[in-house]
Amino acid sequence: MLEENNGCDECSYSITEEELPGEVDGYNCKRPEWKETEYCIWHADVSDKPLDELKDARAETGERLDGAIINGVNFENEISFSDCSFINAQAVGATFSESVHQRVDFRNANLKESDFSSANLLQADFRDSNLSRSQLSDSTLNDTDFRGGNLEYADISNSNLRRSNLSSLNLSNTDLSGARLEKANLSNSSLTHRNLSKNNMAEVDLSGAKLRYTNLTDTNLTGANLSHSNLEDANLHNADVTQASFSEATLSKANCVDTNFEDADLSNVSFTDGDATRSNLKDVNANDSSFKRTIFDACCFERAKLQRVDFEEAVLKNANLQSAELEEAEFPFANLTKCNARNATFKNANLENANLGQADLRGSNLRFSLLYQVILDNSRINNETNFGLKCKYEIDPNTKIHFEEDVNRLQAAAWTYRQLESLYSANSLADQAHQYHIRKEESKRSYYREADNHLKFIISTINRWLTRHGEGLSNILIASAIVILGWAIIYPFAGGIEGEDGDIYKLQFCTCFDPETLEIFLHSIYFSISNFTTLGSNTYTAIGLYPKYLASLQALLGTLLVALFIFTLGRNVDR
pLDDT digits (tens, 9 = 90+) for 26-59: 889 989 999 889 999 999 999 888 888 888 888 7
19-26 long-range Cβ contacts below 8 angstroms, 24+ apart: 20/66, 20/87, 20/88, 21/87, 21/112, 21/113, 21/133, 22/112, 24/85, 24/87, 24/110
The one-letter amino acid at 513 = F
Give the CA distances from residue 176 to residues 96, 138, 192, 245, 262, in Å, rounded to whole numbers and listed in that order: 21, 11, 12, 22, 26
Q: What is the 3-state secondary structure (H, E, C) of 417-475?
A: HHHHHHHHHHCCCHHHHHHHHHHHHHHHHHHHHHCCCHHHHHHHHHHHHHHCCCCCCHH
- Confidence category of residue 5, pLDDT binned at 50, 70, 90: very low
Q: Are strands 120-121 and 95-97 parallel, antiparallel or unpaired?
A: parallel
Least confident of 337-351, 436-450, 498-512: 498-512
pLDDT surpasses 90 at 419 = yes
Both ends of the chain: CA-CA distance in Å? 96
What residues does 365 pair with on adjacent strands? Answer: 345, 386
Give the separation between CA 231 and CA 247, rounded to whole angstroms: 12
CA angle 186/192/195 to nearest 5° reads 85
- Confidence category of residue 510, pLDDT binned at 50, 70, 90: low
Q: What is the CATH number of domain 474-574?
A: 1.10.287.70
Give the separation between CA 548 and CA 542, rounded to whole angstroms: 6
Please give the pLDDT value at position 101.
58
CB 318 within 8 A of CB 296: no
Please give the pLDDT value at position 8.
60
Please give the pLDDT value at position 546.
83
pLDDT one-digit tens code per residue, 448-501: 999 999 999 998 998 888 888 877 788 888 888 999 999 988 888 888 888 777
- For residue 94, how many other CB atoms are within 10 A of its CB? 23
CB 116 within 8 A of CB 135: yes
pTM: 0.81
List the domain boundaries for the chain.
Answer: 389-462, 474-574
Please give the pLDDT value at position 3.
41
Please give the pLDDT value at position 575.
59
Per DSSP, 171 falls in state -
Please give the pLDDT value at position 503.
79
CB 398 within 8 A of CB 437: no
Please indicate whether residue 465 or residue 419 has the higher confidence score (pLDDT).
Answer: 419
Give the separation between CA 101 and CA 76, rounded to whole angstroms: 11
Please give the pLDDT value at position 394.
94
pLDDT one-digit tens code per residue, 87-133: 999 999 999 876 655 678 999 999 999 999 999 999 999 999 999 99
Question: Which helix (H) or strand (E) is 97 found in, with range?
Answer: strand 95-97
Mean pLDDT of 329-349: 95
Please give the pLDDT value at position 526.
87
CB 498 within 8 A of CB 506: no
pLDDT one-digit tens code per residue, 143-178: 999 999 999 999 999 999 999 999 999 999 999 999
Please give the pLDDT value at position 512.
67
Helices then strands, each counted (H, E), the chain: 8, 7
pLDDT surpasses 60 at 187 = yes
Q: Which of 333, 335, 336 is nearest to 344 (CA)?
A: 336
pLDDT surpasses 90 at 240 = yes
Q: Are strands 504-505 and 14-15 parallel, antiparallel or unpaired?
A: unpaired
Please give the pLDDT value at position 51.
87
Least confident of 4-13, 344-353, 376-385: 4-13
- Confidence category of residue 511, pLDDT binned at 50, 70, 90: low
Question: Which helix (H) or strand (E) is 547 found in, with range?
Answer: helix 545-574
The one-letter amino acid at 208 = G
- Confidence category of residue 4, pLDDT binned at 50, 70, 90: very low
